[in-house]
Structure 1
Amino acid sequence: MVANFLEYLRGSQTSPAERKLVQKLDFFILTFCCLMYFLNYLDRSNLTNAYVTGMQQDLNFRGNQLNQINTVFTVGYTIGQIPCNIALYYVKPRIFFPSCMVAWAACTMVTAAAQHPRDIMAIRFFQAIFESSTFVGTHYILGSWYTGSELGKRSGIFTASGLAGTMIGGFIQTGINSSLDGRHGLPGWRWLFIVDGIITLPVAVYGYFLFPDTPRNTQAPYLSPEEKTMAIDRVPEVSERTPISLGFLKHCFSTWYWYFFTILWIIAGETESFSTNSLLALYMNAHPTNTYSRAQKNNYPSGVPAVGIVSTLFWATLTDFLQGKRYLVGYWIGITGVITSALILAYPDNTTIHFAMYYWAGSVYACQATFFAWANDVLRYEEDALRAVVIASMNMGSNAINAWWSIVFYGANFAPYFTRGMWAMIAVSIASKLDLFRTFVFSLRFCLECS
């Protein structure tokens, strides 16, 4: 078993030529997509970092306004999912992705000029539409280039890069506060948005010139004609371009793929609520007895995505090695959600338990990479347009629910205990196991039919 696992880690390619091709793909696809997602998450997480390090007071935030801004962002992000994935059929990815990056970088820098929470609300809506291209678009691209035995590990690396953006955001804010706070009369939190926007632009330029698009339309100068042919042969031959019509959309929304994978991710996505709503940072900010410094508020929550990175890479690699048994991670996230919530409810005054549970809860991020790789696996032999719509619908459905879920259960005014949210987490953790079993049964039926 150990020898087989080590062999898997070295790569499953059968020839030196194929191994060389995959190494090129890893370098040019993963470097760009991971940097893009890193910056995407950096922009998102730094709103909370800015909030707890001066923005709340400077802009006179009241009540649930932070959650309202996050909800508006989620609405924009939800609206953009399917249109962005469909746009990849009409605009080459090497043009579409970088252009979206330039647009959201501009929105990020404009945030530094905000004078009222409503200003940020408007900016974040449009920023979200451009950022919505990244996650589902990249999963579509990964499914276009990589085989089933390669996909989970690459999806895990990609997802981990977003978590790295969340983790590093706190340290960046700490550094900016210590070096730029007050420079030219601007507080550190405003400089944070300016710096975020600036560092996004070079990655966009890189994408314009070197991103390889998809196997059937790539013009990448670093791929030889033989490698381009091999890239096409490595993946199933399916219809890559399907006319987008009402009939096609009706077909998409009537398949079991769309129904079960969308429901699965709607439920599983809410098991990440402790982390995606930055509950540890809000807990520290509203702690009834302890007062934390700005550096502590930024740095301590960075441990949550750090746990998520380790968990994501572990489960993505393991489920690849186990020949695509992606459903296994569902049991982990279900157990984690129930135990962490129950202990926080049972010990409301124990700061150590709260910290430990929020860190442990970061491990549920593993379901992102594995469940989207699972959808790519099952839809590998279907037309590309259907795969693109299902993947986009998964994230769209999750964000549509999260638009109001975060306010109802994890509003900033519920800090520091989020009692209502703890019970909600127990409920979705149990529900995720039930829907996981149903999705597994239908996926198994699909595999048997294909064989």
Structure 2
Amino acid sequence: MASRFKEYVRGSKGSPEEAKLLRKLDFFILTFCCLVYFFNYLDRSNLTNAYVSGMKEELNFKGNQLTVINTIFTVGYIVGQVPSNLALTYVRPRIFLPAMTILWAGLTMITAAVHNPQGIMAIRFFLGVAESSTFVGTHYILGTWYTEKELGKRSGIFTASGLAGTMFGGFIQTGIHSSLDGAHGLSGWRWLFIIDGIITLPVAMYGIFLFPDTPSTTSAPYLSASERSLAISRVPETGVVRTPLNLTFAKRLFGTWYWYGFVMLWVIAGETESFSSNTLLALYMKAHPTIKYTVAQLNNYPTGVPAVGIVSTLFWATLTDSLGGKRYLVGYFIAITGIVTSVLILTRFSDTPTVFGAYYWAGAVYACQATFFAWCNDVMRYQDARLRSVVLASMNMGNNAVNAWWSILFYSADFAPKFAKGMWAMIGCSIALAVWTSVVLYMSAREEKKQRSRTIVYPEDITPPIVSTKN
């Protein structure tokens, strides 16, 4: 089993030296980033788990206050996107990323002490700022270390770790609620936030000592001098260039298609995740017109959504790598999935098994996270690092800027259980995604053609023909 997993991650075989380097990078980069993202998503999903496990009643939530809290978190998350990713080009990632992890672990534990929804609102804003470094920061780091043939799978494994956090959050909440509810006078949902924060801290310390930074700045003790040189040689020279942040940089950023193309792609694609990211299945169950679900069922049944997301993410990441980086295929798959699942919920709402099946299937759209950010890294591989970091951060910032009001408009908790407007919004986004995927495909194909024309090699060992001057 272990050998099969190694072969899955490595993909194409390189030299023994390169294979050894990849094993080290995979272990130290993926373990840290995946664990941080796991706890990151565990924290996000557990707010809803806590809400349906007693927090709503204990703190006297009213109307759409849960949705407002999620929106406030999103605002903080938006504010931190670009500054966090730019910070990685100034501060060593092994310092910056663990520092942000320690900060949001502390804020998570503080959540256990709140006495009203307003207290959670204040905490979640700063939690969003701290957590903004994880997702886009990791995609920036992956793009600095891995080649096009390696990047998709690593991005997929990283994204799947976050979905695993969402999935296991329900089981963890169920266990804590049944074993610690009332311990030392604290409700089970309060213990959840305390434990989440505590178990995150060792991961942060691990990153401080062993995360390898980037190929050009690494001082990791487990990489030899030859391995560091090999790591640098694997990425384009332009990948380590960091231009000054000035007006020229801004003109270059907004004067190319990268920013507009990929930001709009993720704005649209990110909203197709709304069924899952807004935990609609849990809210549907909580407000079901005829069935009363237990606390265990409310926490456990929705875990099937991220489970489908994990399978879909790893499948499409592997497939697009094996097909030479055809990430655009995921856009068309998600468009079909969004339309079909929405139609099923609208037309078969009285059939509970069909609604459950549609929500589970909709979890497959999570595949766009890994593949679309890998697509951006692929296309911008020959651009300078700072430009790439801003585009990656802007993608997530743009999506969350829309999601800040999109969720209130279409997926507010008081719209449960049917979310009719949200279903129509999903259909519209799915159609738009198919169209915009085609636009980005055309632009990236044109860019690749230009890049090939700039890198034509003329062999030096070919002697030009001698033209005789004799009659």
TM-score interval w.r.t. the shorter chain? over 0.9
Tell me whether 1:112 sits opposite 2:112 in the alignment. Answer: yes
Q: CA deviation at 1:249?
A: 2.2
TM-score by structure 1 length?
0.98
1:174-199 superposed Cα distances (whole Å, 9 cap, x missing partner) = 00011100000000000000000000
Partner of 2:275: 274
Q: Does the CA-based 8 Å contact 1:145-1:231 persist in structure 2? A: yes
Equivalent positions of 1:219-230 (< 5 A) are 219-230=219-230
Partner of 1:167: 167
Q: What is the letter of the counterpart of residue 270 of structure 1?
A: E
Q: Does the CA-based 8 Å contact 1:59-1:116 persist in structure 2? A: yes
Partner of 1:65: 65
1:333-391 superposed Cα distances (whole Å, 9 cap, x missing partner) = 00000000001000121111110000000000000000000000000000011100000
Note the residue ranges of structure 1 that are not aligned, 5 or more in a row. 1-5
Q: What is the letter of the counterpart of residue 167 of structure 2?
A: M
Q: What is the letter of the counterpart of residue 25 of structure 2?
A: L
Q: Does the CA-based 8 Å contact 1:212-1:220 persist in structure 2? A: yes
Q: Does the CA-based 8 Å contact 2:67-2:407 persist in structure 1? A: yes
Partner of 1:400: 401
1:229-266 superposed Cα distances (whole Å, 9 cap, x missing partner) = 00000111114322122331232122100000000100
Q: CA deviation at 1:8?
A: 7.2
Equivalent positions of 1:247-258 (< 5 A) are 247-258=248-259
Q: Does the CA-based 8 Å contact 2:410-2:425 persist in structure 1? A: yes
Distance between the aligned counterparts of 1:249 and 1:322, measured in 2? 35
Two-structure CA RMSD over aligned residues (Å): 1.0
Distance between the aligned counterparts of 1:126 and 1:115, measured in 2? 18
SS in structure 2 opposite 1:112?
helix
Tell me whether 1:439 sits opposite 2:467 in the alignment. Answer: no
Equivalent positions of 1:6-405 (< 5 A) are 11-238=11-238, 239-405=240-406
Q: Does the CA-based 8 Å contact 2:49-2:173 persist in structure 1? A: yes
SS in structure 1 opposite 2:237?
coil
Q: What is the letter of the counterpart of residue 166 of structure 2?
A: T
Q: Does the CA-based 8 Å contact 2:29-2:212 persist in structure 1? A: yes
SS in structure 1 opposite 2:113?
coil
Distance between the aligned counterparts of 1:443 and 1:7, measured in 2? 29
Distance between the aligned counterparts of 2:224 and 2:276, measured in 1? 43
Larger Rg: 2
Q: What is the letter of the counterpart of residue 448 of structure 1?
A: K
TM-score by structure 2 length?
0.94
Distance between the aligned counterparts of 2:9 and 2:245, measured in 1? 39
Percent sequence identity is 69
Partner of 2:461: none
Compared with structure 1, are the counterparts of its residues 84 and 412 closer, same or farther at alpha carbon in structure 2 (3 Å cutoff)?
A: same
Tell me whether 1:426 sits opposite 2:431 in the alignment. Answer: no
Distance between the aligned counterparts of 2:327 and 2:312, measured in 1? 14
Q: CA deviation at 1:306?
A: 0.3
Q: What is the letter of the counterpart of residue 188 of structure 2?
A: G
Q: CA deviation at 1:80?
A: 0.5
Aligned residues: 446
Partner of 1:3: none
Distance between the aligned counterparts of 1:150 and 1:404, measured in 2? 36
Distance between the aligned counterparts of 1:111 and 1:9, measured in 2? 38
Q: CA deviation at 1:205?
A: 0.3
Moved more, 97-106 or 6-15: 6-15
Q: What is the letter of the counterpart of residue 432 of structure 1?
A: L
Q: CA deviation at 1:28?
A: 0.2
1:287-319 superposed Cα distances (whole Å, 9 cap, x missing partner) = 000000000000000000000000000000100
1:53-106 superposed Cα distances (whole Å, 9 cap, x missing partner) = 000000000111000000000010011000000001221000000000000001
Q: CA deviation at 1:13?
A: 3.8
Q: Does the CA-based 8 Å contact 1:42-1:166 persist in structure 2? A: yes
Distance between the aligned counterparts of 1:9 and 1:168, measured in 2? 24
Q: Does the CA-based 8 Å contact 1:8-1:321 persist in structure 2? A: no
Distance between the aligned counterparts of 2:104 and 2:192, measured in 1? 15
Moved more, 332-341 or 243-252: 243-252
Distance between the aligned counterparts of 1:377 and 1:328, measured in 2? 15
Q: Does the CA-based 8 Å contact 2:156-2:314 persist in structure 1? A: yes
